[in-house]
């Protein structure tokens, strides 16, 4: 179980770093950069991992969700060079000027709030920490998303990604069964329809054309055009490497789709299944790979303590 906790976080960071140099590229351009060998280029992670670190730090410090503290961590960790989305940047600016975490995100996009994938890309710590408690998982996914993403579609995408990670942690269902559970879990029709499409693809015997995957599931920055694509990248593959390589190979929002695929796959296969050469190349430093692994281990230990306390 510990390897699944650390695998989800390291897996997410590795996916982010592998996809980062080609973010926004077409399928063809990605292939011209990576060719056949898929060597990690720089190992530098982006906003996806920086924000995931903030979510994990806050869950650890509070042994659960605390909105004010999580918003503070996002602001403290913020490095503009990591490539944040415009909506998230604006939310963080408002938060740093003193707006409450319950209000800051509501004014974005003409009052509709963001449905970008910025809440889903950072959600792995919630998926592993509440892997056995679907109600707390949903509630925490919605609340932690709300700090920057108040649109229902942004929050639902984060909850769906968190639940995919939770199912991958448990291994109590086969991949087909996972899709059934995901369809029952998700409340919004936009996502239900995307999961139906994943089922259709999964049932096909022949390899589905990547262009069809992109046109039906999406490869963009919107949560509904990227979370289902990450789930499909995991579902169709048989190893961590295949899943993450597939996610990046589609082009588009490569760092984020690969970060989300890496989180689900790391939770499913465990940290040992992540290619060593990718982990070695992943950036080090104060909040680098060792720190990310430590965050996973801390979440695991706190979870054990809470489970033992609940048993008493
Ligand atoms: N920002 C980037 N990549 C571009 C720059 C990278 C470059 N390499 C660099 O280093 O500078 N990537 C990161 O942003 C995505 C996550 O975005 P987030 O945090 O959700 O931001 P935002 O702006 O809220 O949403 C993203 C876009 O979605 C559309 N959108 C969202 N809500 C909308 C609404 N209500 N109405 C209309 N459009 C909406 C907008 O186009 C948003 O800009 C990740 O890819 C991360 O890696
Ligand atoms: Mg990014
Ligand atoms: Mg991205």
pLDDT of residue 55: 98
Nearest CA owner, ligand 1 atom 23: 87
Q: Give 288's DSSP letter.
A: S
- pLDDT for the residue 205: 82
Ligand 1 atom closest to Cα of residue 84: 1
Residues in the chain predicted with pLDDT less than 70, given as ranges, are: 172-173
Q: Give me the DSSP letters along 253-285.
A: SHHHHHHHHHHHHHHHH-GGGS-HHHHHHS--S
Residue 236 CB coordination number (10 Å): 18
Tell how far the Cα of 17 is from the centroid of ligand 2, in angstroms. 9
Chain center to CA of 159: 10
Confidence at residue 266, expressed as pLDDT on a 0 to 100 scale = 98
Tell me, what's the pLDDT at 172?
63
Kindly report whether the global pTM for this prediction surpasses the value 0.85. Answer: yes
Question: Can you give the residue ranges of every domain in the chain?
Answer: 2-311
- Per DSSP, the residues of 202-221 read HH-SSPPPHHHHHHHH--SS
Q: Which residues of 174-190 are buried (b: 16+ CB within 10 A; e: fewer)?
A: eeeebbebbbebbebeb
* 2-311 placed in CATH 3.50.30.50: no
Please tell me the predicted confidence (pLDDT) of residue 310. 86
User: Quick check: 260 and 15 in contact, CB under 8 A?
Assistant: yes
124 CA → ligand 3 middle, Å? 15
Q: In 45-188, which ranges are continuous DSSP H helix?
A: 47-62, 67-77, 86-96, 124-129, 134-146, 152-170, 175-185
pLDDT digits (tens, 9 = 90+) for 195-249: 999 999 998 888 999 999 999 999 999 999 999 999 999 999 999 999 999 999 9
Give Dmax over CA atoms of the chain in angstroms: 57
For 52-70, how does the pLDDT look when each residue is reduced to its tens digit (9 = 90+)? Answer: 999 999 999 999 999 999 9
In this structure, which residues have their CB less than 5 angstroms from ion ligand 3?
253, 255-256
Ligand nearest to the CA of 46: 2
Helix (H, G, I), strand (E, B) or coil at 22: helix
């Amino acid at each position: 179980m510990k390897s699944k906790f650390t695998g989800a976080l390291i897996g997410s960071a590795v996916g982010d770093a592998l996809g980062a140099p080609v973010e926004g590229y077409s399928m063809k351009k990605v292939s011209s950069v990576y060719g056949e060998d898929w060597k990690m280029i720089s190992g530098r992670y982006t906003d996806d991992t920086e924000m995931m670190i903030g979510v994990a730090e806050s869950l650890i410090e509070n042994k659960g969700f605390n909105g004010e503290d999580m918003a503070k961590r996002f602001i403290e960790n913020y490095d503009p060079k990591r490539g944040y989305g415009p909506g998230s940047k604006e939310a963080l600016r408002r938060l740093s000027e003193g707006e409450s975490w319950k209000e800051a995100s509501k004014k974005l996009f003409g009052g509709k709030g963001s449905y970008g994938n910025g809440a889903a890309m950072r959600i792995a710590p919630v998926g592993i920490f509440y892997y056995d408690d679907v109600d707390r998982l949903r509630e925490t996914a919605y609340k932690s998303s709300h700090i920057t993403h108040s649109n229902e579609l942004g929050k639902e995408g984060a909850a769906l990604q968190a639940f995919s990670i939770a199912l991958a942690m448990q291994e109590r269902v086969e991949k087909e069964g996972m899709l059934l559970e995901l369809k029952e879990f998700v409340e919004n029709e936009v996502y239900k329809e995307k999961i139906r499409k994943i089922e259709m693809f999964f049932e096909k015997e022949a390899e589905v054309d990547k262009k069809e995957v992109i046109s039906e599931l999406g490869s963009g920055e919107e949560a509904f055009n990227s979370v289902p694509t990450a789930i499909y990248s995991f579902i169709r593959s048989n190893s961590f490497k295949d899943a993450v390589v597939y996610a990046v190979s589609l082009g588009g929002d490569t760092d984020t789709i690969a970060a989300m695929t890496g989180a689900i796959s790391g939770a499913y296969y465990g940290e040992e299944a992540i290619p060593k050469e990718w982990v070695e190349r992943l950036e080090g430093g104060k909040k680098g790979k060792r720190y990310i692994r430590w965050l996973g281990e801390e979440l695991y230990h706190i979870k054990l303590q809470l489970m033992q306390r609940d048993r008493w």
